[in-house]
Amino acid sequence: MSDRLAGIRQEILDGISQLSSSRAVYEFKKKFMDSKTGKIGQLMKEMKTIAPEERASFGKGVNELKEWANRRFDELDEKMRARELQRRYESEKIDVTMPAEMAETGNLHPITQTRNQLIDVFAGMGFEIFEPKEIENDYYNFTALNTPKDHPARDMQDTFYLSPDFLLATQTSAAQIHAMETRELPIKMLAPGKVFRSDDDATHSPMFHQMEGLVVDKKITLCDLKGMLDMFVKKMYGEGTTTRLRPSYFPFTEPSVEVDVSCFECGGKGCKLCKGTGWIEILGAGIVNKKVLENCGIDSEEYSGLAFGIGIERVAMLKYGIDNIKLLFESDLRVLRQIDDN
């Protein structure tokens, strides 16, 4: 019997030296240790057929063999697993010093970036967004804004008419009327939108963007307008900048002003950007004409308003040093990639 045990032991020793993976160790181990089919498992079963006087020493021998074999298999399994892990580390090794392939990410269009910056500044002063319409009728775009049919100011804007009554909005000022007709007083609204005019050169495009501001409340004066605009230019063009109001004319404001910002390029000394004047024109504004308030059923004795209209392309062109408006519409990635203020 001990020959049989020694034989199995030798078989294990011979077999083990051939094994090269933890999977093979597992299979090989099963051949011996499986309680039903394994060679050592079978020896345990034979126990009852052994003569009683030999049973104790047989049992001891089988147990010793079993323990010895288990230890061998465990040791070998551990060694194989460690080797396999090492091989995996090596095959999956990455060189962290290799330059990564850059993933292309998009950014917002300069017009959108500028619009968002403007909204941020005015939202901070309590303005709410009001959506202007792109198609208007004559009443909202002109008549209610104190610009009746034969008014010479209609020539200031080359309108795209869709029909005798409908047109593509030429100015976001039309949103003032919609806001005053539908909102409770007081009003503090900002209307960013697309506008259209038959006009096309280096600084004009048939479609462009404006942002209208309107405040209607008791005792609104030009001082409120000046204060808000000063705050706006400081946030947009730097703390050192300020505004200057020049008299102007718009039918829907009285008085009307053109607003200049002190040149943020030269600090007001005079340079190419400000054409030597130290000032750059940025927007039109004024105190809402009483006739406009009354057209919207607002008591112009009790309430007054201020309004301003900003050209978003103009603000973007000044801010990013763009001298041709077409660059904002061509979607040339070489241009768009350079402008990322987000």
**Contacts (Cβ under 8 Å, ≥6 apart) of 172:** 132, 191, 192, 193, 195, 210, 211, 212, 309
**Smallest separation (angstroms) from ligand DAH to the CB of 223:** 16
**Smallest separation (angstroms) from ligand DAH to the CB of 250:** 4
**Smallest separation (angstroms) from ligand DAH to the CB of 277:** 21
State which residue, 171 or 241, has the beta carbon closest to ligand DAH. 171
**Smallest separation (angstroms) from ligand DAH to the CB of 328:** 18
State which residue, 110 or 132, has the beta carbon closest to ligand DAH. 132
Length of the chain: 342
State which residue, 76 or 225, has the beta carbon closest to ligand DAH. 225
**Smallest separation (angstroms) from ligand DAH to the CB of 173:** 4
State which residue, 140 or 250, has the beta carbon closest to ligand DAH. 250
State which residue, 173 or 262, has the beta carbon closest to ligand DAH. 173
**Smallest separation (angstroms) from ligand DAH to the CB of 229:** 11
State which residue, 31 or 151, has the beta carbon closest to ligand DAH. 151
**Smallest separation (angstroms) from ligand DAH to the CB of 102:** 42
State which residue, 259 or 322, has the beta carbon closest to ligand DAH. 259
**Smallest separation (angstroms) from ligand DAH to the CB of 104:** 38
State which residue, 113 or 172, has the beta carbon closest to ligand DAH. 172
CB nearest ligand DAH: which residue? 309
Which residues are at the interface with ligand DAH (CB under 6 A)? 171, 173, 212, 250, 253, 284-286, 307-309
**Contacts (Cβ under 8 Å, ≥6 apart) of 271:** 263, 265
